[in-house]
A and B are shown apart, each in its own frame.
Chain A
Amino acid sequence: MTASVLQSIRSTTLESPSPPRFLAGEKVPKADEGAELAQDFVSARTPNEQTMTESKISVRNFDFFYGASKVLHGISLEIPAQKVTALIGPSGCGKSTFIRSINRMNDIIPEARATGAIMIDGQDVYGGDTDVVELRRKVGMVFQKSNPFPKSIYENVAYGLKIGGMRNKRQLDEIIERSLTRAALWHEVKDRLHASAMALSGGQQQRLCIARALAVDPEIVLMDEPASALDPLATSKIEELIYELKDNYTIVIVTHNMQQAARVSDRTAFFMLGKLIEYADTNAIFMNPKEKMTEDYVTGRFG
């Protein structure tokens, strides 16, 4: 019964014709060293993945620790470019830790440590020559709780550009309008760009945060439960937005809401207790999960 509900949800949005799948850990050599990992990356294009579009983020045997406790165990997956990839799983399963590893937001947590590799366009984000500031300009992030700066709407969107050194007012104006338009917020705020961002509604604030992330022209946008604090109407706006954004950006979204994952994503990864249990086309995960645990979770038997 649940499956048919999901079927109807899916049919209102998108249908992928071929559901290729591969399981976590499959075809992924357990390697520990950077050089070997890089080689793996080159040879990693197994037939399994050829049906996917080009891989943007390639995660290789990634472990993550907070102090002595290991919270991610050997995660390996390929995140395709210009698609929406959803990370689902019960609370505490490590999906947030994982998404925050992609732009190294966990760096600010003392005692946090990672092994393995996350490659973006072939470059290891944890490699020695990766500049974290540069990385974060390429990999934008939207947080669960909208976090506009206590500045004007204009200054919020301009922030990333200004710290990047842009001073030209005409250029700034142009990018700010474009970013707000892309975030479907321009028409609501164009007459009060210099009013405080804190006066916006929750949903508007979250779209402002998306506009702010888009302004610096990232290639990847990470979204950590971007709609979990919003009402259904604001949520549907954010979801529409995500759907449109994937034409230009690679999107990774953490969500607790399975209908949301089903509606917006092309690929879905199911996490459990710090392990990647299953990763496949969203259709396959919801209609025809291979793993018992995945099936139990997506049909609501636990979690």
Chain B
Amino acid sequence: MTANLRRRKLFSRVFEVLCALAVVVALIPLAMILFYVIKEGAGALNWDFFTKMPKPVGETGGGMANAIVGTLILIGIAALFAIPVGGICGVHLAEYPETKFSSAVRFAADVLNGVPSIVVGIFAYGLVVLPVKRFSALAGGVALGFLMVPIVVRTTEELLRLVPGGLREGALALGATRSRAVFSVIVPAALPGILTGILVALARVAGETAPLLFTALGNRFWSTSLTQPIASLTVQVYTYAQSPYDDWHRQAWAGAFLLVMIILTLSIAARLAVRRLERMNRP
């Protein structure tokens, strides 16, 4: 073996080790978070946590039933708002990729994606809360929706553009109009991926706290009204973690654990949905 070749092999080896180290460093925080959340949270989780309301200050026990339902309502509103808007917008970007309007929309989506979530919260506050002078579930849902839209737009666009051009031609050659070809062939072909993108976006906004602070506000009582302040897991965890009570700390851990589980469930659901849909796409 020549000296040169030895040197190259050594370099290759060193680089492999560096890559492996980088992976470990990246995974350590994730592992630690999971470990700590499970250790502290799983023990604190009990049936009461799911079914009971928060107890008055000073009393132990109780649960976060209102916050769990509140979070579901909030991400439900966000999804109802963001999926159609983001999806249709993504279809437009994929269909007319070169126009000035599309470039502007794409740029706007990327900027919106990078806007701090608290700023989006302030925007929703100005848009929904100020006119009616009341914090509401609707305002919170809209704030989360604004955070979701750019993710849905960009994943939809990217995935639609991956669909082979032959499918479009096949549909058009059979006498489909352009919109028909898009909605009956191209979108279904990309649907597994789009759905994953949507679920990932949902998981992301389910964990947001900042945009809810002055939109949905939080609520210690049972409320499912869209026009009233509503509780959410994230805000509840935030409030409880700041409190001086041990029992509230325990419940905050349980809430954090539940949030992680919700996000995990959404990710698993995304994978299962993809597998089901892809059965038609691949042999």
Binding site for B on A (CB under 8 A): 103, 105, 108, 110, 133-134, 136-137, 140-141, 143, 145, 147-152, 159-160, 163-164, 196, 198-199, 209, 212-213, 216
Contact A159 B280, beta carbon cutoff 8 Å: no
Q: A163-B180, A196-B281, A199-B283 are in contact. Are A149 and B175 (CB under 8 A)?
A: no
Q: Residues of A contacting B166 with CB < 8 Å?
A: 143, 145, 147
Residues of B within 8 A of A159 (CB): 171, 174, 176, 184-185
- The smallest beta-carbon distance between B100 and chain A, in angstroms, is 14
Interface string of B167-209 (1 = CB under 8 A from A): 1111111111100100011001100000000000000000000
Closest to A135 in B: B175
- Beyond A147-B167, A149-B167, A164-B175, 7 extra complex contacts between A and B, CB < 8 Å: A108-B168, A137-B175, A159-B176, A163-B174, A198-B282, A213-B173, A213-B174
Q: Is B279 an interface residue (CB 8 A)?
A: yes
Question: B173 to A163, Cβ gap below 8 A?
Answer: no
Chain A residues with CB under 8 Å of B170's CB are: 143, 147-149, 209, 212
Report the minimal beta-carbon distance from A35 to chain B, rounded to whole angstroms: 29
Q: A108, B172: Cβ atoms under 8 Å?
A: yes
Question: Chain B residue with minimal CB distance to A201?
Answer: B283
Q: Tell me the dominant secondary structure on chain B's binding face.
A: helix
**Known contacts A145-B166, A147-B170, A150-B281; is-contact A136 B175 (Cβ 8 Å):** yes
B164 within 8 Å of A (CB atoms): yes
A216 touches B174 (CB 8 A): yes
Which chain B residues lie closer than 8 Å to A108 at the CB level? Answer: 168-169, 172
**Given A213-B173, A213-B174, A196-B185 contact (CB < 8 Å):** no
CA distance A149 to B189 in the complex (A): 8
Set B168, B173, B281, B282: member contacting A141, Cβ < 8 A:
B173
Q: Are A140 and B173 in contact (CB under 8 A)?
A: yes
15 residue pairs bridging A and B, Cβ less than 8 Å apart: A108-B168, A134-B175, A137-B175, A141-B173, A143-B166, A143-B173, A147-B166, A149-B171, A150-B282, A151-B188, A159-B171, A198-B280, A198-B283, A209-B170, A212-B170
Measured between beta carbons, the chain A residues less than 8 angstroms from B164 are 147
Asked if residues B279 and A103 are in contact (CB atoms below 8 Å), the reply is: no
Contact B283 A160 (CB under 8 A): no
Nearest CB in chain B to that of A196: its residue: B280
A216 to B279, CA, bound (A): 27
- Give the residue of A105, A196, A199, A213 whose beta carbon is less than 8 angstroms from that of B172: A105
Identify which of B169, B180, B280 contacts A151 (C-beta below 8 A). B280
3 tightest A-B contacts by CB? A147-B166, A137-B175, A160-B174
CB-CB under 8 A from A164, the residues of chain B are 175
